[in-house]
Structure 1
Amino acid sequence: MSQTLNNEADILIVGGGLSGAMLAAQLLRQPGKRKVLVIEPRGELGRGEAYSAVELGHTLNGNAARMSVDPDNADDLTQWLSEYIAAGGWPESDQQQVPISELFPPRGIFGLYAQQRLAQAQALGASNGSSVEHVQAEVVDLQVDPDKVRLTLSDGRHMQGAFAVLATGMFAAARTPQTQSSGLNAAGLDPWDVAAMARLDPQSTVLIIGSGLTMVDAVVSLEQAGHRGPIEVFSRHGLLPHVRRQPPVWVDFLAEDHRIRTPRQLLRELRRHCRDAIAQGIDWQAPLDTVRAHIGRLWHQATDVQRRQFVRHVRPWWESHHHRSPPLSAELVERLHREGRLRIQAASFQGLEPSTNDGVGIRIRRRGETHTTVVHGAALINSSGIEYDWRRVARPLPRQLLARGLVRPGPLALGIAAEVDGAVVDANGQAASRLFAMGPPLRGIWWESTAVTDVASQAKALAQRLVQ
């Protein structure tokens, strides 16, 4: 896509990863004529942080049947993959030995799928006179006037439009400059940088902070880089993601019982259903997977006290059970753990320590202990996941938006505050009429606001809202 020469548009989309690309595609499918500018510093739209991976081992953590970008067709990715594989793409897919709907595609291939769906929407929009153009730059400032929104770009250009949407995607902790930096990013390797890991001594010890899905990716990267030494993983609770399986359909008990409204009620009822499933010889993941469609409603109607209790006491177990690992990656982690090469320890990171050699030292406090311990390794990887607190993100736009009072932190400082239709809420509690948000920035509003299906639904609803 070529860069635009005109700085005016009907709608400005800030961020061109999956969220921005899906919104652009939905806008192109709406009747009427409009011009959309997507401001994204990367050279491609539709990939963003999550789908720019190039290694085949870095796969989606959901199978194809769960990852459609079309909210009206749950089989869209399955259908696209069938055609892609039949045409000779991804020959390694036969290693998974499952139907195409149950495949876990590499994230790079998923990014290609998203790009092709955007290209199809562009062709459709062109027949109505609509267009989407990619402006390759970073938005560093934003101002809202009564009749328009004005953007300042990193290259000095200015853009303006009737509406703007913050589709900034995820701020991966390993790649995001932070205002309250612990030094982890500067000292640590990128979890997805296989080339850098290949330069390590293959038998050396690698330290990893965090034990979620980013850690799983980091272990895959190390394996592909030829690393064969010890891997020490430290996280507060020492929990690993469960492997994602394909359980049978279970009754949607939340749809049948609207008395369940609080996190405590949900957990009590969910445990009961999981016990019933196990007693019947059915995978416990079956009842858990029915909860997915109701999380936004339950979280949105919960009080701040209830949300805080959930984050403090339930979140680690929710993440490890709900955000599960793709089978091939889980098999690798399990094998290394069984061989004794990978060790998981419940311990909190306390800071960096000087190292007497070319490696790195960290200070940790193991769970249940009051004293700290220094651990040394040849390399350190920050796998602490996503940074949702915009106050900690040292990027120009989040800092400017907060400083201007155009946004305020969302519930529990997760993302930013907004109305249910995505209208951003400012520091005075007023909903904007020209500034909207979607995807990961709405974590505090919906809790689960990063999955492909969630973002796809938001994109369709927001596109309809913007063209009305």
Structure 2
Amino acid sequence: MNTVAIPRVAIVGGGFAGIAVALRLLRQAPMALHIDLIEPAATPGLGVAYGTPLAQHLINGVSKAISLFEEEPAHFTGWLARQVRAGAWAPPPGVAIEDSLPPRRLYGAYLQQTWAEETARLRPGLSLEHVRARAVGLRATAHGYAVSLADGRQRLADKVVLATGLMQRRADQLPFALGDAARRSPRYVADQWAGGAWHEVARDRRIVYLGAGLSALDGLISAEHAGFRGEHMAISRTGLGVNERRMPEPWPDFLHIPDGGLTLRQLLRQVHPQLRAMAAQRQDWQRIVPTLRLQVDTLWARASVQERARFVRKLRSWWDVALHRSAPEALAWQTRVKAGGRYRHAAGTLLAVDTLADGRLAVRWRARGSDAVQTLEADRVVNCLGFAFDWTQSHDPLARDVLARGLALPDPLGFGLQANRADCALLDAGGRPQPGLHAVGHPLRGVFWESNAVTEHVPQATKVARSLIAQLARPAAHAHEDRAGAAAPVAAG
């Protein structure tokens, strides 16, 4: 008796994006299906974002927008309301649960609980394995793909989803010189979420943050919570700081985007009059942010590579600080430290980080508009310059293998991989979409530009799951037709 093999999907990466795809498949796949979630961490779903233990690290997006499931927009807020009733947390006075910005660890608990509940009640024919290993290679086979693991094992799959998350910057990719001794020093913090990053920080007198965005704010909160009472010094290229997230009514939509797209200059010609009108009416400038955010996908899709590059070079920093704002309660930590005379922020160019004779670190930099080189002595230097997106520069073995085998086409600006916008199917080296090899999340930064948060990852997970289900349903239907044909009586000639 012939049997049909159960199709297998391998999801590489078990952070938020990875479990979002897995849960969507488990909920919606009408056929038998096996999923391998390849993730070395013991707890799927947390990733970098939601693994912090501190209640003072808050979500930067409103609760009503970050449900795991598009079809259940109140899934998270309903869960959060139950936590509030149980006394686990309470939103600030006067803030509705739907508009709250709760602790990231609480959102991590939501992800863990949802994952545990959904995977504990699998329908017949569905199975899932959390493969605790690191994927280091990927190759195409006659019937799908083979994922190579760091422990020497191999997993075969009909379809593969790359949900690989963020990539750490290599030391030689940093925009400043980093001495070998400084790189090895425990006083240089390349990853503030690593164990020991804040060890004995209470003894320090000065921390220098390379960068002044949300990651630097996280670092300030971590240091203060650990007992640090010295000086915080942030150096950033533009001098732009973190904005408090306010939620005024969105400004009316005003953008006209022709099919051929807008140049950056044409875009600004539409935006600047709106900003002037808002200022004249004493309106909160943040009203324009959600209005523009709704159009980012269309703006980016229709922009040429040259205009995208111009945006990255000239306006990326301004857009990032406008969109990625902080919960007021989190930013209040910086405000209090600043009021106490313990926080400085300077605009300038980083030149080098080296060690001093006493083991501390020296940060050499040049203030914006000056040719003079300055040196800051620091007890701890925290790198907050963000993550890498350029797969061609990565030392990650999986990234190198995928590109070497022609399974993916790098983004021309170095923001991940190119993909079909409709279903996130990766383009191969020849520019052809590959149904059966998809990506979600950070690898698609160059496709959608905003591909960093829950609000982007969930719709992408929906697209990918829908496409995979359609692809897997076709062979199943053909197999059913073949079995039916074989069982039918043969007509006499």
- Pair in the same fold by TM > 0.5: yes
Distance of 2:196 and 2:354 partners within structure 1: 26
**What is the CA-CA distance between 1:72 and the residue it aligns to?**
2.6
**What is the CA-CA distance between 1:48 and the residue it aligns to?**
1.1
The structure that has the greater radius of gyration is: 2
Query: Is the counterpart of residue 465 in structure 1 residue 442 in structure 2?
Result: no
Partner of 2:79: 80
**Amino acid paired to 2:460:** Q
Partner of 1:221: 222
Distance of 1:343 and 1:104 partners within structure 2: 26
Matches of residues 95-114 of structure 1 in structure 2 within 5 Å?
A: 95=92, 97-114=94-111
Tell me if structure 1 keeps the 8 A contact 2:48–2:193.
no
With normalisation by structure 1, the TM-score equals 0.91
Query: Is the counterpart of residue 14 in structure 1 residue 16 in structure 2?
Result: no
Tell me if structure 2 keeps the 8 A contact 1:197–1:227.
no
Distance of 1:366 and 1:42 partners within structure 2: 41
**Amino acid paired to 1:446:** F
| 2:351 aligned counterpart, secondary structure | strand
Question: Which deviates the most, 279-288 or 30-39?
Answer: 279-288
Partner of 2:59: 60
| 1:197 aligned counterpart, secondary structure | coil
Distance of 1:315 and 1:267 partners within structure 2: 13
Change (3 A) 1:96 1:373: farther
Output one character per residue of 1:399-426: Cα deviation in whole Å (capped at 9) or x when no partner. Answer: 2222333223213111112121211123
Partner of 2:424: 422
Distance of 1:341 and 1:212 partners within structure 2: 17
Tell me if structure 1 keeps the 8 A contact 2:201–2:223.
no
Partner of 2:297: 296
| 1:384 aligned counterpart, secondary structure | coil
Output one character per residue of 1:414-460: Cα deviation in whole Å (capped at 9) or x when no partner. Answer: 11121212111233323223311111100011100111011000001
Tell me if structure 1 keeps the 8 A contact 2:201–2:227.
no
**Amino acid paired to 1:447:** W
Distance of 1:464 and 1:336 partners within structure 2: 48
**Amino acid paired to 1:363:** R
Change (3 A) 1:216 1:357: same
Query: Is the counterpart of residue 266 in structure 1 residue 267 in structure 2?
Result: yes
**What is the CA-CA distance between 1:58 and the residue it aligns to?**
1.3
Partner of 1:40: 39
**What is the CA-CA distance between 1:396 and the residue it aligns to?**
1.8
**What is the CA-CA distance between 1:95 and the residue it aligns to?**
4.7
| 1:352 aligned counterpart, secondary structure | strand
- Aligned mate of 2:438, from 426, 436, 439: 436
| 2:209 aligned counterpart, secondary structure | strand
Tell me if structure 2 keeps the 8 A contact 1:178–1:393.
no
**What is the CA-CA distance between 1:211 and the residue it aligns to?**
1.1
**Amino acid paired to 1:99:** A
Identity %: 35
Matches of residues 317-356 of structure 1 in structure 2 within 5 Å?
A: 317-356=318-357
**What is the CA-CA distance between 1:290 and the residue it aligns to?**
1.8
Tell me if structure 2 keeps the 8 A contact 1:275–1:284.
no
Output one character per residue of 1:291-313: Cα deviation in whole Å (capped at 9) or x when no partner. Answer: 22221221121001100110000
Partner of 1:451: 453
**What is the CA-CA distance between 1:389 and the residue it aligns to?**
1.5
Change (3 A) 1:271 1:104: same
Partner of 1:167: 163
Change (3 A) 1:193 1:327: farther
**Amino acid paired to 2:385:** S
Tell me if structure 2 keeps the 8 A contact 1:194–1:222.
no
Tell me if structure 2 keeps the 8 A contact 1:9–1:37.
no
**What is the CA-CA distance between 1:203 and the residue it aligns to?**
5.3
Change (3 A) 1:180 1:71: same
With normalisation by structure 2, the TM-score equals 0.86
**Amino acid paired to 1:300:** A
| 2:434 aligned counterpart, secondary structure | strand
Output one character per residue of 1:77-121: Cα deviation in whole Å (capped at 9) or x when no partner. Answer: 22210012212323xx34565211222111121112123333444
**Amino acid paired to 2:274:** H
The size of the alignment, in residue pairs, is 454
Which ranges of structure 2 fall in alignment gaps of 5 or more residues? 471-493
**What is the CA-CA distance between 1:178 and the residue it aligns to?**
5.1
Tell me if structure 2 keeps the 8 A contact 1:195–1:225.
no
Partner of 2:125: 129
Distance of 1:94 and 1:439 partners within structure 2: 29
Change (3 A) 1:319 1:160: same
**Amino acid paired to 2:468:** L
Distance of 1:313 and 1:344 partners within structure 2: 21
| 1:171 aligned counterpart, secondary structure | coil
Output one character per residue of 1:142-185: Cα deviation in whole Å (capped at 9) or x when no partner. Answer: 11124210011111111011010110012254xxx456465476
Matches of residues 352-363 of structure 1 in structure 2 within 5 Å?
A: 352-363=353-364
Change (3 A) 1:180 1:320: closer
Distance of 2:468 and 2:306 partners within structure 1: 33
Tell me if structure 2 keeps the 8 A contact 1:8–1:159.
no
**What is the CA-CA distance between 1:397 and the residue it aligns to?**
1.1
Output one character per residue of 1:198-248: Cα deviation in whole Å (capped at 9) or x when no partner. Answer: 503545111110111111101111110111111111111111121101112
Distance of 2:217 and 2:334 partners within structure 1: 7
Tell me if structure 1 keeps the 8 A contact 2:416–2:442.
yes
Distance of 1:291 and 1:49 partners within structure 2: 27
**What is the CA-CA distance between 1:374 and the residue it aligns to?**
2.3
Tell me if structure 1 keeps the 8 A contact 2:138–2:145.
yes
Distance of 1:347 and 1:447 partners within structure 2: 26
Change (3 A) 1:206 1:402: same
| 2:14 aligned counterpart, secondary structure | coil
Root-mean-square deviation (CA, aligned residues, Å) is 2.3
Distance of 2:7 and 2:135 partners within structure 1: 15
Question: Which deviates the most, 299-308 or 427-436?
Answer: 427-436
Which ranges of structure 1 fall in alignment gaps of 5 or more residues? 1-6
Tell me if structure 2 keeps the 8 A contact 1:142–1:397.
yes
Change (3 A) 1:463 1:65: same
